[in-house]
Chain A
Amino acid sequence: MKKSIFLIIYLLFAYISSAQEIAPIPLGGSLDLYVGTWKYENTETGEVFIVKLKKFDNYTAINVNFGTVLIGEYSYKKNGITIYDNIDSVSGIATNNQAVRTSVKCSSANQNFAKLRLSVIDREYQKIANGTLQFSLEHNNSYSLKWKIAESEGDFDVGPDYKEGLSIPSDIVLIKVEE
């Protein structure tokens, strides 16, 4: 009888463990764990993509108060060459009306803080990309962000310098490297 009970408990534990490969966010409805510096690195392609996020309360733009959002900046290197780097400006961002603006902003969707909407300005190609940012707790208790974006819809006049696609990674996982 005792063996059976232990077996059931073991199987139940094993099932729960396997079902929680992606752990629920332990935030209690907070964006705080997104704040910090996140990094993606691919040694084969020589890509290093770093995003720095900070929380911003009462974010107001286009006559709308978006509430609390995350804003940030990024740097991107490829094969050792810096494509874009404005990461140090994040700390200076005061309001959205300033000339220096964020390039990454997230806000909650359906109060599900595990997956946020993501809008990115591709500084190099001067395009908007939209997608999602999904928080995960890895097995080693580290935090990761699933970054997935696509070029937004639009009707454009383009010049000869127009470039197809995006200059930044569109489907990557970033690891938190700094609070």
Chain B
Amino acid sequence: MPVIAEESAKGIFKSKGILPINLDEFNILANNETKSSFTDTVTFSLDSSMLNWGKASQVNRDNGLVFTQIPFSFNDSSVFAAISDDMETLDENKVSLKSFYIKAEDCFNNVQIDYIVTMVPTREYQVHNVEYDFLNMQGYSGIVFYSDTIGRVFKINALKDGIINRVSLSKETEIDNPKYVGFYSNDRTITKSDQDPVFDGGELLTIVIYADSQNTGGYGDIIIIGKTPESDNQGEKPEEVIGHTDKLVLGGGTDTTALQNEYTLFVKFKGCCGESEQIIVAPIGNSISVTAKDFSSDTCIFMHWEGPNDILSNNRSISLTLSCNTTITAYYMGKSKGACFELAKIASDATMKANMKAIIDSTHLDSIEHGYKMRSDGSKLYGKGTDSTLRYDKDSGQTYIQRFHTHPKGTKFCSGADIWTIYDMLRNQQIRDDDIDNFRYGMIARDTLNKGEHMIHIIKIVDKNKLENCFNQDIINCANDISKVKNIFCLNYDDYLSQDNLSYNDKMVFYLEQLERMGLSLSKGEYTNNASQNTSKVIYWSNVTIKSKNGTEMPDFETCAYQYPNNH
């Protein structure tokens, strides 16, 4: 049975309106009973002047939760408290208490709640940790009271070395293993040394009894079960201190309106680019434009943005209008990913995707071939199409980095003329040496059988010499009759692919063999098209090579796990 020290049982203890927690309901009375009503309770009332806005600070979590902490002005100066296992030793354990006004925002769901926390550390903890606060509770030991803005307590945590155990106040005086918290008025003196601050004097305002519980129950319930946490492995950490970015000191302002005049955008960069962060502060209502940093496109390429409210973009530059502090992340992929890096380069090439989308959309509006050539300076030349051919006018002296066209009839492979065109561009010096690695030749085949999968083939020059050698000797043998070599190649190539008795896989193997002997590689995409809205989306990309299975050559479609929010 707990014993209430006689000297402490001086009457009805009150909060006196100073503490932002109204504990009168739970006060231990002189007659060893608790109060039965709120009579004599002095209700706490928040006033903006109680808050020290100059010391406001903020943390952002990856999940969109933002906590803003504004300390009360009386912290460390007006009130103090004590925690003890028994009434007799309360006075020996006096410590400073701290209260904070907390604004918790859930940016993802546009929810904000305000509450007050009051921290009463153990004396042992305070002696060694003078600079703790609510946003820095790593290793904290003591009690944390959570109350609403008029002081009604809705949660109490007891922490030991940063680990939580939920506790409840008691209206009973007879509980097992009780703990005591006493709150004192400000008429006391403090003798403070670095190692051992001593709090002397002060009037004991109120004293409450509580019990630890491992059964959290519901907020506001009075449950007296359980034990005090005794090891670091029990309980959980306060959600406010998990996964925080560095704390941001806001400073300035005198009220919440002043604080919300601007929001902060935390921009993270992850992947091969290393971990880094950029902080952008923007006035409320202003649109912020953010561009992914440039790294070497040969070794580390931008993939996409991720952020709250379904921010998911492959565009390097995005615009945001913040409704609260927000974190967005730019993801990058490195060359070490091998074949996937090549797919990532395609998937992350916003210009190429926009170009492709334009001709895909056109192809689904009519039945003629569409296509473009993109010059080295980024400008484009569009072809003139019929239902089976696409022709470009002379564009003297130009070099190119992209050339795409469509097959409205649905032919699933590049034609002989298409393949020859790549060689011809090289022969005519239409692809600069320093553009070879980035040059892409593309074919987009409409799914005329309505299977729902339209194809994109993207061909890259892997070995320039191989491509040149493939035809140069034939041209010499044909007395420099280039047309003859081209026509014979196209005739044989097209003839093979037009065989009705060959399967798609057989034709794909032939196609890949032809590409390989010419030093070319193939990446294949599939896209869907919404006919009513004429909008297209690429479903995935794969690298296509030949593999041997049981002595039979088969096409191997290698996809990559990232297949990021591909629909682009």
Contact = CB atoms under 8 A, between A and B. Distances in A.
Contacts of B407: 153
Contacts of A160: 394
Contact of B418 (A110, A121, A155): A155
A99 B483 CA distance: 12
A157 B392 contact: yes
B478 A128 contact: no
A162 interface: yes
A109 B371 contact: no
Interface residues of B, number: 47
B484 A158 contact: no
A99 B475 CA distance: 9
Interface residues on A, range: 20 to 34
A152 interface: yes
B514 interface: yes
Given A101-B484, A152-B415, A154-B390, A62 B499 contact: no
A124 to B, nearest CB: 11
A84 interface: no
Contact of B383 (A61, A105, A152, A155): A155
B394 A99 contact: no
A132 to B, nearest CB: 10
Nearest to B407: A153
B538 to A, nearest CB: 21
Contacts of B489: 62
B510 A64 contact: yes
B494 A128 contact: yes
Given A101-B488, A126-B487, A155-B418, A150 B388 contact: yes
Contacts, number: 117
Interface in B464-489: 477-479, 481, 483-484, 487-489
Given A96-B488, A126-B487, A156 B495 contact: no
Contact of A107 (B484, B495, B513): B495
A152 B421 CA distance: 14
B478 A99 contact: yes
A128 B499 contact: no
Interface in A97-141: 97, 99, 101, 105, 107, 109-111, 117, 119, 121, 126, 128, 130
Contacts of A130: 494-495, 498
Contacts of A159: 394
A164 to B, nearest CB: 8
Contacts of A121: 487-488, 491
B487 A154 contact: no
A130 B389 CA distance: 13
Interface in B492-517: 492-496, 498-501, 510, 513-514, 517
A105 B490 CA distance: 12
B492 A153 contact: no
B457 interface: no
Contact of B491 (A97, A99, A109, A119): A119
Contacts of B499: 107, 109, 117
A117 to B, nearest CB: 6
Interface in B335-383: 369, 371, 383
B294 interface: no
B411 interface: yes
B417 interface: yes
Contacts of A128: 416-417, 487, 490-491, 494
A87 B487 CA distance: 18
Interface in B104-149: none
A15 B270 CA distance: 78
B389 A154 contact: yes
B411 A153 contact: yes
A155 B371 contact: yes
A98 B216 CA distance: 90
B405 A110 contact: no
B409 interface: yes
Nearest to A101: B488
A153 B415 CA distance: 7
A117 B417 contact: no
Nearest to B482: A126
Contacts of A109: 499-501
A142 interface: no
A143 interface: no
Contact of A153 (B417, B496, B510, B514): B417
A89 to B, nearest CB: 13
Contacts of B481: 99
A151 B484 contact: no
B483 A157 contact: no
A154 B422 CA distance: 12
Given A62-B514, A96-B488, A110-B501, A119 B494 contact: yes
A110 B517 CA distance: 28
Q: Which 5 A-B pairs have the closest CB atoms?
A: A154-B417, A61-B492, A121-B487, A155-B405, A110-B501
